[in-house]
Amino acid sequence: MGTPGEGLGRCSHALIRGVPESLASGEGAGAGIPALDLAKAQREHGVLGGKLRQRLGLQLLELPPEESLPLGPLLGDTAVIQGDTALITRPWSPARRPEVDGVRKALQDLGLRIVEMGDENATLDGTDVLFTGREFFVGLSKWTNHRGAEIVADTFRVRAGPALGGKQRGADGGQKGLGRAALRRERLRAACV
């Protein structure tokens, strides 16, 4: 058995965003974020940064907290990265779309090739995407639609594979297709930023 992370590349950087006060003031509640202890969240954020630096040896890039972006610390929603390519997502909620700006700049500064979604009908949250080292799995949901999954496939040159999961319901209650799509690519290696 290999070492942890073997075959999935080596990470050199970690990108995090500070915890804004607006996350605790209820502005995050609309997205299903329960009330939280701001001081505790900020302490835990500091511990996370320290562990990324000291235990994992990563260079830490920290975006400052932005009060207008209460969910800004959820950076996993803003980009999908594989190799030297970063797909900047288009969050479902218009209020979350400005979150990608700081992430885009940080990833550009790291020299990654930036791909924009471009299609105004596409939505994608990065946390709906799983890359196994060989396959991309994209969960279709309220936050990620089929067009968003297609853009993942186009960006990383993967082919659509068999769908998994249950049926997704349309606004009229009818079935709109399968709930999750599997996207595959042979001999794909993951690389962390």
Tens digits of residue pLDDT in 92-129: 999 999 999 999 999 999 999 999 999 999 999 999 99
Tens digits of residue pLDDT in 146-186: 999 999 999 997 655 544 444 444 443 333 433 334 444 33
Is 29 a residue whose pLDDT tops 70?
A: no
DSSP helix/strand/coil, 47: helix
Cα 48 off chain centre by: 18
Mean pLDDT of 56-60: 94
What pLDDT is attached to residue 27? 58
Is 26 a residue whose pLDDT tops 50?
A: yes
CA distances from 119 to 89, 128, 162 (A): 11, 18, 24
Q: Compare 189 and 44 and report the one with higher pLDDT.
A: 44
What pLDDT is attached to residue 158? 63
Q: Compare 161 and 35 and report the one with higher pLDDT.
A: 35
* Structural domains in the chain, sorted by start: 9-73 (no CATH), 76-193 (3.75.10.10)
Q: What is the DSSP string of 17-37?
A: E---HHHHTTTTGGGTPPP--
